[in-house]
């Protein structure tokens, strides 16, 4: 808000034309779409000629978005007022760099380890839950855990345990935990988690089958 007043003053004293209400409304929309304030892009005093790199990107994005809308209209054969509109928020969803949550977490696991990814998930959840920026649904961590289970069971276990914290009734997460423990040759813990999954979804044939398989393997190998 302070910045807006500042801009108005600056434009009043240096340039005869005030920014139009239309421009101001579209600036508000842009800022909201990216979840940033005005000075994220307007970093230099007006007329100073200093570089404003984010503003340059935004200018290109505005052109790109206009082009996308034209292409959407051509592709669908709908005139502008009928075609659903691509806007900044369509991609950005309230964040400046619109990455999907699984990509963010997988990159963190790769670069900094699973503990950092767990902390990051908690932080993002605190900041963004209930908004459209990221999908904090049951399947996000579940899918990452399932992908990691075969090769990096310890990482998978950390991710899946986190998911059961947010989704204590996620039978599929307990089943995936069970699978991850078999990859660590800890079949006792694996059976515990499969049983837990079955308590939640007693009719789940896939989980029943997994538990049966593990039990019969134990009977055959004589460890039980
Ligand atoms: C994502 C980057 C971005 C954000 C955030 C943003 N702007 Fe802009 N703004 C631009 C771009 C790009 C232009 C157009 C520059 C051009 O085409 O010459 C512009 C133009 C303007 C202009 C016309 C004068 C000028 O600098 O070209 C004003 C005034 C302005 N913005 C005010 C605001 C206000 C107030 C906010 C916050 C509500 C805001 N802007 C948020 C990128 C941004
Ligand atoms: C089709 C999808 C799409 C649309 C629509 C879109 N953007 Fe982007 N934008 C991206 C992607 C993807 C990135 C991130 C690229 C990267 O740095 O990895 C990005 C990055 C940016 C950045 C740089 C952010 C930073 O911190 O580096 C700005 C500023 C930006 N967009 C502004 C806009 C504005 C303003 C609009 C609407 C006029 C818009 N974008 C519409 C996809 C889009």
pLDDT in tens, 193-202: 999 999 999 9
CA nearest 157: which of 130, 112, 117? 117
Please answer whether residues 141 and 118 qualify as being in contact, where contact means their C-beta atoms are separated by less than 8 angstroms. Answer: no
Model pLDDT, residue 217: 84
For ligand 1, pick from 24, 42, 65 the residue to mutate: most ligand atoms within 8 Å of CB: 42
| Whether the predicted pLDDT of 2 surpasses 90 | no
Residue 42 CA, ligand 1 centroid: distance in Å: 6
CA-closest residue to ligand 1 atom 38: 28
For ligand 2, pick from 30, 40, 60, 61 the residue to mutate: most ligand atoms within 8 Å of CB: 61
Residue 157: burial class (beta carbons within 10 Å; 0-12, 13-18, 19+): buried
The C-alpha atoms of residue 194 and residue 132 are separated, in whole angstroms, by 33
Please answer whether residues 121 and 162 qualify as being in contact, where contact means their C-beta atoms are separated by less than 8 angstroms. Answer: yes
What percent of the chain has pLDDT above 70? 91
pLDDT in tens, 65-89: 999 999 999 999 999 999 999 999 9
Model pLDDT, residue 39: 96
């Amino acid at each position: 808000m302070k910045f807006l007043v500042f801009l108005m003053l600056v434009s009043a004293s240096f340039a005869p034309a005030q920014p139009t209400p239309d421009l101001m409304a579209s600036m508000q929309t842009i800022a909201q779409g990216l979840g940033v304030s005005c000075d994220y892009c307007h970093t230099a005093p007006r007329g100073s000629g200093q570089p404003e790199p984010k503003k340059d990107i935004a200018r290109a994005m505005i052109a790109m978005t206009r082009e996308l809308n034209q292409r959407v209209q051509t592709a669908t054969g709908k005139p502008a007022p009928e075609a659903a509109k691509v806007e900044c928020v369509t991609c950005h969803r309230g964040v400046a760099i619109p990455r999907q949550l699984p990509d963010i977490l997988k990159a963190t696991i790769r670069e900094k380890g699973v503990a950092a990814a767990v902390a990051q998930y908690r932080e993002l959840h605190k900041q963004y839950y209930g908004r459209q920026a990221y999908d904090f649904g049951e399947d996000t961590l579940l899918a990452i855990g399932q992908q990691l289970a075969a090769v990096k069971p310890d990482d998978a276990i950390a991710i899946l345990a986190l998911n059961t914290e947010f989704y204590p009734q996620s039978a599929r997460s307990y089943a995936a935990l069970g699978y991850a423990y078999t990859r660590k040759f800890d079949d006792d813990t694996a059976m515990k988690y499969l049983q837990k999954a079955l308590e939640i979804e007693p009719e789940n044939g896939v989980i029943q089958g997994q538990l049966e398989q593990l039990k019969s393997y134990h009977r055959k190998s004589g460890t039980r």
